[in-house]
Amino acid sequence: MGSAQYLHKLLAGGGSLSPLLTASRHHAAVLAEVRARLPADLAAAVHCAAVDSGCLRLGMSSSVWAARVRYLAPRLARDLSDLSAGPVATVEVYVAAAPDGRQTAPPQAPKPLSVASREHLESVAAATHDPRLAEALRALSRS
């Protein structure tokens, strides 16, 4: 059990890894605070958050969520301007891999075509002069 004591000394105050542990706890607290102040669907897509020199950096689960947050960035900067980690003037967004390597939400199955859409695809296929395009439209209407 000597290794457990050695690890404790490394992580304890004054140990060589204690600044790393402190930074990790700080980032976890910022992430929790940001998630608590966002809508549930958006909060679930945030993997990491940090404040540095007035810039809130958010790591998102996918490019779709990152694009959505970029669009909302001015509003988020106002809404999250008073974080305990420091004032926020700007929001920077990037795509970050999930800590465990998995996606946060399973991909959604495509919605089936409506009857009207199927009929429209069939009518366009019947009216086209390109046989390859007509077949592709018919195949799409059957999917």
Amino acid 1: pLDDT: 46
* 3-state SS, one letter per residue, for 22-40: HHHHHHHHHHHHHHHCCCH
For the whole model, what pTM was predicted? Answer: 0.59
Could you tell me if 41 and 70 lie in one domain?
yes
Kindly state whether residues 55 and 21 are assigned to the same domain: yes
What are the distances in angstroms from CA 48 to CA 16, 43, 45, 54, 67?
A: 24, 10, 9, 16, 16
Could you give the CA distance from residue 47 to residue 104 in angstroms, rounded to a whole number? 9
**Residue 131 or 12, more confident:** 131
Q: What confidence tens digit (pLDDT) does each residue in 31-52 have? A: 998 888 888 888 888 988 888 8
Total structural domains in the chain? 2
Average of per-residue pLDDT across 84-96: 86
